[in-house]
């Protein structure tokens, strides 16, 4: 099973340091096309900025790719500190861009490292963290009693996300379930005499970080 930590949503952060204005943007990106889209949007929005620096870390299975750029700032003063903000939080598939509007006061190498690292960290932290896992979709038609029983079973319920639920004569739901929990959830509903159908395609599901409970 493949699980990793990444951003829950786009994060932004802004600070002013000795008259220079720094704006950070962090986003979950699962491909280089996603990264290009983020960078193009930031550059278009801040076409008058002095610098637009960026860093990313992509991982697919055992393959990892990372890159950073100082975009005209002194070598090692921007991109690498931004990449460090991603690594320090053990995140994967994240891209960060930091925009600088020069305020007329030079910050020096140490000052730049601090400015870019804290702006990147602020944007990443603003995005929050979720746990992403390989999984399957399960379609259900169940009684209210069975659904309530399922919701009370934390170990099962916390390992999936509800992508759709309709409350009518029965409960019709679609669950995105962490791969290693598919068989146990299918077995649970089979015992409840419910209609249950497992999808064939793999999906990427998003779970709260605190779902690292028994069984990992």
Q: Give me the residue spans of the domains in the chain.
A: 3-127, 131-211
Split the chain (216 residues) into runs of 10 and give each run's mean pLDDT: 86 95 96 93 94 92 87 93 95 96 92 96 95 88 87 73 87 86 83 80 78 40
Q: Supply the pLDDT for residue 145.
A: 87
- The edge-to-edge listing of strands for the beta sheet with 63-69 is 11-17, 20-28, 94-101, 51-60, 63-69
Q: Supply the pLDDT for residue 210.
A: 62
Q: Supply the pLDDT for residue 154.
A: 64
Q: Supply the pLDDT for residue 215.
A: 37
Q: Supply the pLDDT for residue 78.
A: 95
Computed on alpha carbons and rounded to an integer, the radius of gyration of the chain in Å comes to 22
Rounded distance between C-alpha atoms, residue 83 and residue 95, angstroms:
9
CATH topology of domain 131-211: Alpha-Beta Plaits (3.30.70)
Q: Does domain 3-127 have CATH number 2.40.110.10?
A: no
Per CATH, 3-127 and 131-211 having the same topology is answered: no
């Amino acid at each position: 099973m493949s699980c990793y930590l990444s951003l829950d949503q786009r994060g932004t952060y802004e600070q002013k340091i000795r008259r220079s204005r720094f704006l950070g943007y962090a986003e979950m990106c699962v491909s280089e096309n996603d990264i290009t889209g983020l960078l193009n949007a930031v550059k278009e929005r801040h076409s008058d900025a002095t610098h637009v620096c960026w860093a990313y870390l992509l991982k697919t299975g055992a393959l990892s790719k990372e890159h950073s750029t100082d975009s005209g700032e002194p070598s090692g003063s921007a991109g690498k500190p931004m990449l460090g903000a991603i690594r320090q939080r053990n995140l994967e598939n994240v891209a960060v861009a930091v925009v600088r509007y020069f305020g007329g006061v030079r910050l020096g190498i140490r000052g730049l490292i601090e400015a870019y690292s804290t702006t990147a960290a602020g944007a990443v932290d603003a995005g929050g963290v979720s746990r992403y896992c390989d999984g399957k979709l399960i379609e259900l038609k169940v009684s209210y009693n069975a659904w309530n029983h399922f919701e009370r079973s934390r170990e099962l319920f916390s390992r999936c996300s509800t992508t759709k639920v309709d409350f009518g004569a029965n409960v019709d739901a679609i669950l995105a379930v962490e791969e290693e929990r598919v068989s146990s959830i299918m077995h649970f509903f089979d015992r409840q005499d419910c209609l249950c159908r497992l999808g064939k395609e793999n999906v990427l599901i998003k779970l709260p970080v605190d779902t690292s409970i028994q069984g990992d």
